[in-house]
Amino acid sequence: MGSKIIPYIDREVIEWRWWSDNKLISFQLFASCFLIDGLLVDASAPGSETDLRKWVTTLRGKNIINSCYLTHFHEDHAGGAPMLKKEFDIPIYASTLTVPYLKKGYKYRFYRKTYWGRHGQKQIEVEPTEGPIITKSGNYSFELFPMPGHSPDLTALVDKKNQIAFVGDAIMYKYGYTFGGSSADLYEDISQIYNSQKSLYKITEGMDNLKIFVAHVGMVNRNFIAEKMKEIEDLHTKAHKIQKELIDIGYRRQSKIVKEIIRKIWRKGELLQFKILSMGEISRANLVATLLKWPLDS
């Protein structure tokens, strides 16, 4: 296991990163949570519990956590929340849509165990809120914005006055894969992801100093949203264009079309271990299927 503390904006925001050192992992991924004025946004993974406890006990003054908000129910965001509530009496908040996912807790597949801990997501009673979330000193007030797509319950926190946003997994570093296929609890819809980014971009118009904190990425500016939207638009256009060409030369079967699109867009074998390790739960085929389901002229 490893963990790292990353301060931003003169230590106003602190990111706590945690990662597993499981030998089976060839592509490193970390879980992030962010602390601002006593508010912890997300709570890392179940496997981080021991390290998270250690970090929380070192916090002093304004950094002592007095509330926690979960951007969505995924285990790499909600994993440490049951321990924080039980041992530190920290109230855990989330959108009403997140609550039912965590009421029961859930188990997950082998590859997610290697990344996020083998015990699964423990159940926790989360308090639903529609915001705003006001931090300890009263200096920050976060409005909550639904950003479905990566998960149905995903919610972003935006403080317009201070130009700070926490968006969880609403924006990814690079779009090449989506969750879906065989998994019921994980399904990503690329058109929803795009539309959510578009509304975030709109909501934050004129905020030239906006600092956006993205899980698995770090701090980015508003331009990053525009870049990601462009990336998705390009994939969308490409997938449909290739599909049309294939149909024109006689391709009929959808699975063959998807395979061919993948071959034409991406380098062979690029990050193939994701697909293999996840047994199809994360794959390019999922992404292409959701790109094709999304009409070009919408």
Tell whether residue 15 is a contact of Zn ion (CB under 5 A): no
The smaller minimum CB distance to Zn ion, of residues 121 and 162, is found at 121
CB of 206 to Zn ion, least distance (A): 29
Stretch binding Zn ion (CB under 5 A), from 41-49, 72-80, 84-92, 284-292: 72-80
- What tokens does 41 get? 């946004």
Instruction: Say which DSSP state 142 is in.
Output: E
Q: Which two tokens stand for residue 70?
A: 């979960």
Shortest spacing between CB 76 and Zn ion, in angstroms: 6
CB of 75 to Zn ion, least distance (A): 9
- C-beta of 69 vs 140, nearer to Zn ion: 69
Smallest distance from Zn ion to CB 7, Å: 24
Q: How far is the CB of 102 from Zn ion (least distance, A)?
A: 13
- Strand pairing of 141-146 and 155-159? antiparallel
Q: Does 75 bind Zn ion (CB under 5 A)?
A: no
Shortest-Cβ-distance residue relative to Zn ion: 74
Stretch that binds Zn ion, among 61-69, 73-81, 141-149, 171-179 (CB under 5 A): 73-81
DSSP category for residue 122: P
DSSP structure class, residue 126: P
Report in angstroms how near the CB of residue 48 gets to Zn ion at its nearest: 15
Stretch that binds Zn ion, among 68-76, 171-179, 231-239, 254-262 (CB under 5 A): 68-76
Query: Applying CB under 5 A, which part among 7-15, 97-105, 164-172, 272-280 lies near Zn ion?
Result: 164-172
Residue 153 CA to residue 150 CA, distance in Å, equals 9
Pick the closer one to Zn ion by CB: 9 or 173.
173
* DSSP letter for each residue of 51-65: HHHHHHHH--GGGS-
Which range touches Zn ion (CB under 5 A), out of 74-82, 110-118, 180-188, 282-290?
A: 74-82
Closer of 174 and 267 to Zn ion (Cβ):
174
Binding-site size for Zn ion (CB under 5 A) equals 2
Residue (of 19, 25, 45, 75) closest to 273 by Cα position: 25
Q: Where are the alpha helices (DSSP H) in the chain?
A: 49-58, 75-78, 81-88, 99-104, 110-116, 190-203, 222-248, 254-265, 272-277, 284-293
Q: By C-beta, is 74 or 222 nearer to Zn ion?
A: 74
Name beta bridge partners: 218: 214
Within 8 A by CB and 6+ apart from 72, the residues are 78, 94, 98, 150, 151, 153, 154, 155, 168, 169
The burial of 34, by beta-carbon neighbours within 10 Å (0-12 exposed, 13-18 middle, 19 or more buried), is given as buried
Closest approach of Zn ion to the CB of residue 151, in Å:
6
In the set 20, 56, 74, 113, which binds Zn ion (CB under 5 A)?
74
Per-residue interface string for the shown chain with Zn ion, residues 213-252, x marking contact by CB under 5 A: ----------------------------------------
Q: Does 169 bind Zn ion (CB under 5 A)?
A: yes
Question: The tokens 């794959």 sit on which residue?
Answer: 283
Distance CA(116)–CA(48), nearest Å, equals: 8
Binding site residues, Zn ion, CB under 5 A = 74, 169
